[in-house]
Amino acid sequence: MHVQTLKTHSRIEMIDITGSVREIVKKSGVKSGFCVVYVPHTTAAVTINENADSSVKRDIISKLSQLIPENDNYTHLEGNSDAHVKSSLVGVNVVIPVDSGDLVLGTWQGIYFCEFDGPRTRKFVVQIVGD
């Protein structure tokens, strides 16, 4: 298991972690199997989406903020209920196949750490299973 740390810079942002995850897979020596990326936070998430056009990240963030506004008569006292809801909807893990020692991602796909209550120092966990 590999625990990676990153710093976020905005309250809501998506950070491409594909390179970090790919490097962990290569160093593991696993040729065939799968890779799990997990976020151990209740106000952050991880997703796979397009990484060729940065407007996709802006659109996702914009739509999530529109659907789940920061202030909306929530009862949670910390003031970050929207972040909890966004994390639950997006999800805290992804599973990616590994073949020939590399991630099996589509041409335009990347792995994104999603910050919904930043800026903070965050962690994500990478577990590779296979042979």
Average pLDDT score over residue span 81-102 = 98
pLDDT score of 94 more than 90: yes
pTM for the model: 0.96
Q: Given pLDDT bands bounded at 50, 70 and 90, which one contains residue 34? A: very high
Homologous superfamily of 2-130 in CATH?
YjbQ-like (2.60.120.460)
Mean of pLDDT values over 66-88: 95
Res 77 pLDDT > 90:
no
For residue 116, what pLDDT band results from cuts at 50, 70 and 90? very high
Q: Which residues contact 103 (CB under 8 A, 6 or more apart)?
A: 18, 21, 22, 25, 35, 96, 97
Statement: residue 38 has pLDDT above 90: yes
Q: What is the mean pLDDT of the chain?
A: 97
How far apart, in whole angstroms, are the C-alpha atoms of residue 31 and residue 103?
10
> Which tokens in the block code for residue 106?
């589509």
Mean pLDDT of 43-72: 96
Q: d(Cα 62, Cα 86) in Å, to the nearest integer?
A: 12
Reference 87, options 37, 18, 39; nearest CA is: 39
As a whole number of angstroms, the distance between CA 80 and CA 69 comes to 10
Token pair in block for residue 129:
């299973």
